[in-house]
Amino acid sequence: MIANLIGGFVAILIGVSLAGPLAVQVNTVTSSVNTTGGTCVQPTSADAISQNATAQANCQLYLASGWGASVAKMVPGFFALAILGIGIAVTYTSLRQSGII
């Protein structure tokens, strides 16, 4: 029983510590704001493409697929739900092994 609790605690601790950086990375990838602070726009001419190449550096996913960016923004939420599921499973398993449930 104690081994399950320790293993579950370690899994939850690692998961919670990774939730913040995961959310930051997803937000960076799916951002609709370019590196200069402006809104991501699709360049229309060769001059605009070369001038805006660095400013539009983090806009590729947003410009290529708006729905892809929307789906990617849900990843941290599902990650948090998975961590919650681990906590519930560890608690249930420990209580069941101890005979309480």
98/95 Cα distance (integer angstroms)? 5
For position 61, what pLDDT does the model report? 59
In a domain, 23, yes or no: yes
User: With contact defined as beta carbons under 8 Å apart, do 75 and 81 qualify?
Assistant: no
Q: How many domains does the chain have?
A: 2
19-54 pLDDT, tens digit per residue, is: 999 988 887 777 766 556 666 666 666 655 555 555
Both 61 and 40 in one domain: the answer is yes
User: With contact defined as beta carbons under 8 Å apart, do 35 and 58 qualify?
Assistant: yes
In a domain, 1, yes or no: no
52-90 pLDDT, tens digit per residue, is: 555 555 566 555 666 777 788 888 999 999 999 998 998
pTM of the prediction? Answer: 0.67
What token pair was written down for 47? Answer: 């001059």
Higher pLDDT, 13 or 30: 13
Residue 90: enclosing H or E segment and its boundaries? helix 75-98
Give 3's pLDDT tier (boundaries 50, 70, 90).
confident
In a domain, 85, yes or no: yes
For position 24, what pLDDT does the model report? 87
Residue 47 domain boundaries: 33-65
Q: In which residue are the tokens 């726009």 written? A: 41
Both 38 and 23 in one domain: the answer is no
